[in-house]
Structure 1
Amino acid sequence: MRKSLFLKSAGLVAAMALIPAFTAGTAASDVETYKELDQFMSIFERVKAEYVDKVDDKTLIKGAIDGMLASLDPHSSYLDARDFKNMRTTTEGNYGGVGLTVQGEDGVIKVVTPTEDSPAARAGLKSGDYITHVDGKLIYGEQLDDAVDKMKGPAGTDVRLTIVRPGRDKPFDVTLKREIIEIKAVKWEVKGDVGIININSFSKATGPGVRSAFVSIDKALGHRPLGYVVDLRANPGGLLDQAIEVSDSFLDHGEIVSQRGREKTDIQRYYARPGDDAHGLPVVVLVDPGTASAAEIVAGALQDHKRALILGERSFGKGSVQTVMPLTDDTALRLTIARYYTPSGRSVQEGGIDPDIIVPQITDADRRGRPRMRESDLRHHLINEVKADDKLLEDDGKPDPRFEETADQLKKANVTDFQLDYAVKTIARLGTPAIQTALAEAPALPGAAKPRKR
């Protein structure tokens, strides 16, 4: 079988010599392609015959495919049966494990973000932590899928992770009890007269979940709130159509996002429909380095339309669109097919969304020593071809008096989430009648959703 494939490749190369002269340019290119394929088959045969351990065809071919796609960008990949199943499980909203989103980085397993209200989150694991051992066994150099499989297991069983956290002198162990992770895409609560909508992911349930949250908040208060805090922190993204649907819930009209492919004419634009589910009330959106992809689409759209005030820290910076192309019943190709742009034409690729007001999470005692991983840190990331010339104001070096309190001082004041507390207080200020009147009378920018009086 291998010999016939090799001969077939060589035969195709020979056949190219017979193509008429008027296609010589194309023929020359094809000949080079087949020469490369011929070389690939030669290496394939040599590895099969002489590698120190026996290796099967499936392993070699999958490795070749993985290498080809990894050379493109960090988000294009081949999904085998296991990967495809995991992807579908994530978009449908539940899976088993400890509640960690992780990524391989030079042989090390790095925590991207813990899932809210999961064993990992309750144990205090943080973005930027490194996992070196599982149940005392070193996982350095292992494939990401193999390391993840070691952390999985029946609900109710324990798994011990050894964590290296930048800023701490020594590794430490955390024992987690596995459970079924129910990813509730949208959660809501009320603080004072402010509605808080926490969007954890963009799965099929996200758009309906946001609309349901509006209704539930009104019922809980017995009236409409002063405004809404939309929490997109640690949201890794998800489905594009759900990002559009969520953005549409806050916008009355105008463009939400544009998707631009390889060719200049390959542009798709998505627009808001009439009607603002938030009734024009003030909106604050919280972002951080874990806010990525679909979550950045929402933040960028509301920021460009002056519909929301963005608070927190600069987001992750993933400005590309992937499509999943099924290959068989249980395998697929995930391929980057476009870049997306905010309504004003900004690309968030590499740079992310800059908040209108930078608010550090000062209740996190380890925040200063922990590195922040973003799209620009990933190998082979796409280059942002539309970089805005935004020059920061000169820093006078003086500490911001709003953020001088320590985590211990805030804990004594019963503030466990400084960014959320700051956002709620901001809405309380924006929701006063005088501010509402001023917002309603302010001239709207072209394409911006106009605030309405209650």
Structure 2
Amino acid sequence: MTKALLRPLLLVGAVALVPAVTAGMAATDVQTYRELDQFMNVFERVRAEYVDKVDDKTLIKGAIDGMLASLDPHSSYLDARDFQNMKTQTDGEYGGLGLTVGMEDGAVKVQSPTEDSPAFRAGIKSGDYITHLDGNLIYGGTLDESVDKMRGAPGSKVRLTIVRPGRDKPFDVTLVREIVTVKPVKWEVRSRVGIININAFSRLTGDAVRSALVSIDKSVGGRPLGYVIDLRSNPGGLLDQSIEVADAFLDHGEIVSQRGREKADIERYYAKPGDLSHGLPIVVLVDSGSASAAEIVAGALQDQHRALVMGERSFGKGSVQTLLPLSEDTALRLTTARYFTPSGRSVQEGGIEPDILVPQLTDVDFKDRPRLREADLRRHLINEVKVDDKILEDDGKTDPRFAQTPDQLKKAGITDFQLDYAIRTVSRLTTPAATAALAARPTRTAAK
């Protein structure tokens, strides 16, 4: 604590400033020390009089967790286990079921399943609640306890009881644990359209996207008709990787700006010359699970008129977390800035609004399943520009293009309606007139 207080003073470099700063801060410091004394009084009382003996480490960690939880949903303290888990997931491989989960009112809530994981293949969705593991109630426990119970030796089974909003009854899903390897990027070609599926923004994502673009060219023996960038259910990740990905599809212009506490604390990131996608038409797919780094990419390509954004409104996480190491095996993940798209829009709460709203008609639960977004989280950062969900997501009419039922689409051989619609849209955008119209779209500006 002493070092943290001294560091700004040493940077000032003028001894004459010390008395003025001290006098101005004196009243605040006195009140702060009184509050710290109160904290120590509570700490000592709990140590001495709580019904069960509790070790000091548990009490202190609980106090730290409580302090950070009072700020926003994304700031947290990482102990040795949490720190190692985060580094492992960032590197792209970890053991378990392939679920990103959080705690809400004592219940374990699914934030997103990892593609090609046991949870993903079983159809577990964002917004599901896990109430039991192997028939044992986990409600009311800690998140760490629930995560520990879901882990186990690869090949072993665990039965999850799921409560899904929109369904009348809970249902059970039995999963087989395995080593989950997150492939940040997968690609394929359909109807001469390159599809780049970005599942996460780990340390290798930028390289993988550039490699995918080269591989698609080789696969079609020249240039494809265009690209679909699939960012659905992508929970985000590393900021630098989102910048690299956006840069691969841009030749110039701003990608994102990062703004801290002070007005002058602004950092801007720009695209380098060279569009690896050859200026071809692009459709970006997003949904309510597209968050953070995924929204940076979608917002940059949308604002720079480089792509059409299609699907559902995205999650709406417009904040930047900085990892601040505290020791060799602990760290503080702290929200230090907000990010803004090139036009100055903040996606916080509101998310990225698609240019074309396309429902996922092949998902039988699509209409009834509530969407979990940033605005639903407790103590989320407030955006001064409010977004009316009903205006964005329900115009009161049934679009005739989207009147097909899941059974009809299945008979037609369509297993992913949003992706199929995106591919057909790219094909229509390959005409010179369509390309010119795309470039001439009105510039998006931030609401004042």
Normalized against structure 2, the TM-score is what? Answer: 0.91
Q: Distance in 2 between matches of 1:210 and 1:333?
A: 30
Distance 1:406 1:251, change over 3 A: same
- Corresponding residue number in structure 2 for 1:116: 115
Match for 1:39: what amino acid?
Answer: Q
Shift of 1:384: 1.1
- Residues 302 and 394 (structure 1), Cα distance of their counterparts in 2 relative to 1, 3 Å cut: closer
Structure 1 residue 399: deviation in Å?
1.1
Per-residue deviation, 1:111: 1.1
Distance 2:399 2:433 in 1: 27
Distance 1:151 1:358, change over 3 A: same
- Describe how 1:188-267 pairs up with structure 2 within 5 A: 188-267=187-266
- What pairs up with 1:292-303 in 2 under 5 angstroms? 292-303=291-302
Give the Cα–Cα distance (whole angstroms) in 1 for the partners of residues 290 and 335 of structure 2: 19
Aligned pair in 2 of structure 1 residues 35, 414: CA closer, same or farther (>3 Å)? same
Q: 1:432: Cα distance to partner?
A: 3.3
CA displacement at 1:397 relative to structure 2? 2.8
CA distance in 1, matches of 2:157, 2:92: 23
Q: Are residues 240 and 342 of structure 1, via their aligned partners in 2, closer, same or farther at CA, if it must alter by over 3 Å?
A: same
1:96 matched residue in structure 2 = 95
Query: Quick one: distance in 1 between partners of 2:394 and 2:67?
Result: 44
- Is the CA contact (8 Å cut-off) linking 1:226 and 1:432 kept in structure 2? no
Question: How far apart are residue 385 of structure 1 and its match?
Answer: 3.5
Cα deviation digits, residues 236-290 of structure 1 (max 9, x gap):
0000000000000011101100000001110000000101000000000000000
Distance across 2 between alignment mates of 1:83 and 1:429:
47
Measured against aligned partners, the alpha-carbon deviations of 1:307-359 in whole angstroms (never above 9, x if no partner) come to 00000000000000011011111000000110000000000001000000000
Q: CA deviation at 1:124?
A: 1.2
Q: Deviations over 1:342-397 (max 9, x none)?
A: 00000000100000000011111012221111001111100114558999599763
- Residue 180 of structure 1 aligns to a residue whose secondary structure is strand
The alpha carbon displacement at 1:222 in A equals: 1.1
Q: What's the CA shift string for 1:155-186, capped at 9, x where partnerless?
A: 11111111111222221111111111010000
**Aligned-pair distance for 1:22?**
8.9
Amino acid of the structure 1 residue aligned with 2:178: E
Give the drift of 1:435.
3.2
Aligned equivalents of 1:153, 1:20: Cα separation in 2: 59
2:303/2:443 contact within 8 Å kept: no
SS at match of 1:353: coil
Whole-Å separation in 1 of the counterparts to 2:169 and 2:391:
37
Say if 1:195 and 1:228, in contact at 8 Å, map to a contact too. yes
Preserved contact between residue 305 and residue 445 of structure 1 (Cα < 8 Å): no
Aligned match of 1:82: 81
- Within the alignment, does 1:377 sit opposite 2:379 as a pair? no
Q: Which has the larger radius of gyration?
A: 1
Report the equivalent of 1:428: 427
Tell me the distance in 1 between the aligned counterparts of 2:260 and 2:393: 37
1:361-372 matched pairs, under 5 angstroms: 361-372=360-371
Give 1:142 shift.
Answer: 1.2
Whole-Å separation in 1 of the counterparts to 2:33 and 2:206: 48
Write out aligned runs for 1:268-283 (5 A): 268-283=267-282
Match of 1:128 in 2: 127
Q: Scaled by the length of structure 1, what TM-score is found?
A: 0.90
Q: Secondary structure at the match of 2:174?
A: strand
Note if contact 1:287-1:315 (Cα within 8 Å) is conserved in structure 2.
Answer: yes
1: distance between equivalents of 2:209 and 2:25?
A: 52
- Which secondary structure state, in structure 1, belongs to the residue aligned with residue 245 of structure 2? helix
* Residue identity opposite 2:293 in structure 1: A
Aligned match of 1:5:
none
Q: Which amino acid is 2:373 matched to?
A: R
Q: Which consecutive residues of structure 1, in runs of 5 or more, have no partner in the other structure?
A: 1-18, 448-454
In structure 2, the residue corresponding to 1:337 is in which secondary structure? Answer: strand
Q: Which moved more, 1:29-38 or 1:396-405?
A: 396-405
Aligned-partner Cα distance in 2 for 1:337–1:364? 37
Provide the C-alpha distance between the structure 1 equivalents of 2:368 and 2:56, rounded to a whole number of angstroms: 45
The match for 1:357 is 356
- After superposition, the Cα gap between the structure-2 partners of 1:186 and 1:265, relative to the gap in structure 1 and judged at 3 Å, is same
Paired with 2:57 and 2:394, the residues of 1 have a C-alpha distance of: 56
CA distance in 2, matches of 1:327, 1:192: 51
2:68 equivalent in structure 1: 69
The letter of the residue matching 2:169 is: K
| Residue 412 (1) aligns with residue 406 (2) | no
Residue aligning to 1:309: 308
CA-atom RMSD in angstroms: 2.2
Instruction: Please say if 1:27 is aligned against 2:26.
Output: yes
Q: Which residue in the other structure is 1:148 paired with?
A: 147
Most deviating of 393-402 and 50-59:
393-402
Name the amino acid aligned to 1:165: R
**Partner residue of 1:290?**
289
Distance in 2 separating the partners of 1:59 and 1:125: 33
Q: CA deviation at 1:129?
A: 1.1
Q: For 2:393 and 2:352, how far apart are their aligned partners in 1?
A: 20
**Secondary structure class of the residue paired with 1:91:** helix
Cα distance in 1 between the residues matched to 2:443 and 2:378: 38
Q: Secondary structure at the match of 2:139?
A: coil
For the Cα contact (< 8 Å) 2:101–2:112, is it kept in 1?
Answer: yes
Tell me the distance in 1 between the aligned counterparts of 2:300 and 2:153: 41
The runs of at least 4 consecutive aligned structure 1 residues that moved more than 2 Å come to: 19-25, 385-398, 432-436, 442-447
C-alpha deviation, 1:221, in angstroms? 1.2
CA contact (8 A) 1:346 1:388 kept: no
Between the aligned partners of 2:175 and 2:394, the Cα distance in structure 1 is: 43
In structure 2, what is the equivalent of residue 16 of structure 1? none
Q: Percent identity?
A: 75
Q: CA deviation at 1:434?
A: 4.9
**SS of 1:101 mapped into structure 2:** strand
Q: Provide the rounded CA distance (Å) in 2 between the counterparts of 1:387 and 1:228.
A: 32
8 Å CA contact 2:166, 2:370 repeated in 1: no
User: Could you tell me whether the CA contact under 8 Å between 2:292 and 2:317 is conserved in 1?
Assistant: yes
Give the counterpart letter for 2:209 in structure 1: V
Distance 1:116 1:266, change over 3 A: same
Distance 2:443 2:112 in 1: 37
Specify every segment of 5 or more residues in structure 2 that has no aligned partner in the other structure, as ranges.
1-17
Count of matched residue pairs: 427
Secondary structure of the residue aligned to 2:276 is coil
- Per-residue deviation, 1:52: 1.1
